[in-house]
Amino acid sequence: MADKKVLFKIKRQASPSAEPVWEEFELNWHPGMNVISSLMEIAANPQTKDGKTTAPVTYDSNCLEEVCGSCAMLINGRARMACSALIDKLEQPIRIEPLSKFPVVRDLAVDRSVLFENLKAVKAWVPVDGTYDLGSGPRQSMQNQEMTYPLSRCISCCCCMEVCPQFNEDTGFVGAAAISQVRLFNAHPTGAALKQDRLAALMGDGGIQECGYAQNCVEICPKDIPLTQSISQVAGDVMKQAITDLFRK
Amino acid sequence: MANTPKIIVVGGGLAGLAAVIKIAEMGGNVDLFSIVPVKRSHSVCAQGGINAAKNLKGEGDSTAQHLDDTIYGGDFLANQPPVKGMCDAAPGIIDLLDRMGVPFNRTPEGLLDFRRFGGTLHHRTAFAGATTGQQLLYALDEQVRRYEAEGKVKKYEHWEFLSAVLDSQHVCRGICAMDLRSMEVRTFPADAIIMATGGNGAIFGKSTNSVVCTGSAQSALYQQGAYYANGEFIQVHPTCIPGEDKLRLMSESARGEGGRVWVPKTPGDKRDPKSIPQNERWYFLEEWYPKYGNLVPRDVATRAIFKVVFEHNLGIDGKPMVYLDLTHIDRKTLDRKLEGILEIYEKFVGDDPRDTPMKIFPGMHYTMGGLWVDYNQQTNIPGIYAAGECEYQYHGANRLGANSLVSCIYGGFTAGPNAVRYAKNLQAAPSNGHFEAEKKRQEENNALLVSNQGDENPFRLWRELGELMTKNCTVIRYNKNLKETDAELVKLLERFRKVNLSDRTQWANTSVVFARQLYNMLQLSRVIAQGAGMRDESRGAHYKPDFPDRDDKNWLKTTKATFAPDADEPRFEFEPVDVSLIPPRPRKYDAAK
Ligand SMILES: Cc1cc2nc3c(=O)[nH]c(=O)nc-3n(C[C@H](O)[C@H](O)[C@H](O)COP(=O)(O)OP(=O)(O)OC[C@H]3O[C@@H](n4cnc5c(N)ncnc54)[C@H](O)[C@@H]3O)c2cc1C
Ligand code: SF4
Ligand code: SF4
Ligand code: FES
Q: For A100-112, b where at least 16 C-beta lie within 10 A, e where not — what string?
A: ebbebbbbbbbeb
> What does each C-alpha distance from B464 to B6, B57, B204, B206 come to in angstroms?
41, 49, 9, 11
Q: What is the mean pLDDT of chain B?
A: 94
Confidence of residue B590 (pLDDT cuts 50, 70, 90): low
**Residue of A55, A135, A152 lying closest to B103 (CB–CB):** A152
How far is residue A119's CA from residue A174's CA, in Å, rounded to a whole number?
Answer: 9
- Whether A239 contacts A205, CB under 8 Å: no
For chain A, how many residues are written?
249
Selected catalytic residue, list B124, B281, B298, B354? B298
pLDDT tens, residue by residue, B265-295? 999 899 999 999 999 999 999 999 887 788 7
- Whether A174 contacts A202, CB under 8 Å: yes
Across B94-246, the runs of DSSP E, i.e. the strands, are: 114-116, 123-126, 153-157, 159-166, 172-179, 185-189, 192-195, 228-229, 234-241
Mutation probe of ligand 1 site: the residue of B45, B203, B298 with most atoms within 8 A of C-beta: B45
* Interface predicted TM-score (ipTM): 0.97
**The predicted structure's pLDDT at residue B421:** 97
Map out the domains of chain A with their CATH numbers: 5-110 (3.10.20.30), 113-248 (1.10.1060.10)
Chain B: give the shortest CA distance to residue A61, in Å.
7
DSSP conformational letter for B163 = E
Q: For B484-519, b where at least 16 C-beta lie within 10 A, e where not — what string?
A: ebbebbeebbebbeebbbebebeebbbbbbbbbbbb
Report, as an integer, the average pLDDT of B85-108: 96
DSSP string, A120-162: HHTT-S---S-SS---S-----HHHHHHHHHHTT-----HHHH
How far is residue A118's CA from residue A127's CA, in Å, rounded to a whole number?
Answer: 17
Report, as an integer, the average pLDDT of B184-191: 98
> What does each C-alpha distance from B473 to B249, B467, B501 come to in angstroms?
20, 10, 29
pLDDT tens, residue by residue, B202-241? 999 999 999 999 999 999 999 999 999 999 999 999 999 9
Report, as an integer, the average pLDDT of B31-46: 97
CB–CB contacts below 8 A, A to B: 195
Amino acid at A92: Q
B298 is catalytic: yes
- Whether B361 contacts B320, CB under 8 Å: yes
Q: Which of A245, A222, A202, A242 is nearest to A162 (CA)?
A: A222
Report, as an integer, the average pLDDT of B367-378: 98
**Residue of B146, B348, B505 lying closest to A84 (CB–CB):** B348
Report the separation in Å between the CA atom of A155 and the middle of ligand 3, taken as the mean of its atom positions.
6
Confidence of residue B406 (pLDDT cuts 50, 70, 90): very high
pLDDT tens, residue by residue, B171-183? 999 999 999 999 9
- Whether B563 contacts B227, CB under 8 Å: no
DSSP conformational letter for B9 = E
Confidence of residue B130 (pLDDT cuts 50, 70, 90): confident
Which parts of chain A sit beneath pLDDT 50? 1
For residue B406, the ligand 1 atom closest to its alpha carbon is 11
For residue B209, the ligand 1 atom closest to its alpha carbon is 53
Chain B: give the shortest CA distance to residue A127, in Å.
8
Taking CB atoms and an 8 Å limit, are A137 and B145 in contact across chains? no
Confidence of residue B468 (pLDDT cuts 50, 70, 90): very high
**The predicted structure's pLDDT at residue B115:** 83
Report, as an integer, the average pLDDT of B44-65: 93
Q: Is the pLDDT of residue B189 over 60?
A: yes
For residue A156, the ligand 3 atom closest to its alpha carbon is 5
How far is residue B513's CA from residue B510's CA, in Å, rounded to a whole number?
Answer: 5
pLDDT tens, residue by residue, B529-569? 999 999 999 999 999 999 999 999 999 999 999 999 999 99
Q: Is the pLDDT of residue B522 over 50?
A: yes
Q: Is the pLDDT of residue B116 over 90?
A: no
- Whether A125 contacts A137, CB under 8 Å: no
Which residues does A39 contact at the CB level (< 8 Å), separation at least 6? A56, A57, A59, A82, A108
**The predicted structure's pLDDT at residue B592:** 52
Report the separation in Å between the CA atom of B304 and the middle of ligand 2, taken as the mean of its atom positions.
53
Sign of CA dihedral B294, B299, B300, B305: positive
Whole-structure pTM value: 0.95
**The predicted structure's pLDDT at residue B1:** 47
**The predicted structure's pLDDT at residue B2:** 52
* Ligand 3 pocket, CB under 6 A: A 154-160, 176-177, 180, 221-223, 225, 227
* Ligand 1 pocket, CB under 6 A: B 10-16, 33-36, 38, 41-43, 45-50, 132-133, 160-161, 196-198, 208-209, 212-213, 216-217, 249, 365-366, 388-390, 402-405, 408
Q: Is the pLDDT of residue B482 over 80?
A: yes
SS3 call for A113: helix
N-term to C-term CA, chain A: 74
* Nearest residue in A to B211, CA atom: A62
Confidence of residue B243 (pLDDT cuts 50, 70, 90): confident
**The predicted structure's pLDDT at residue A2:** 55
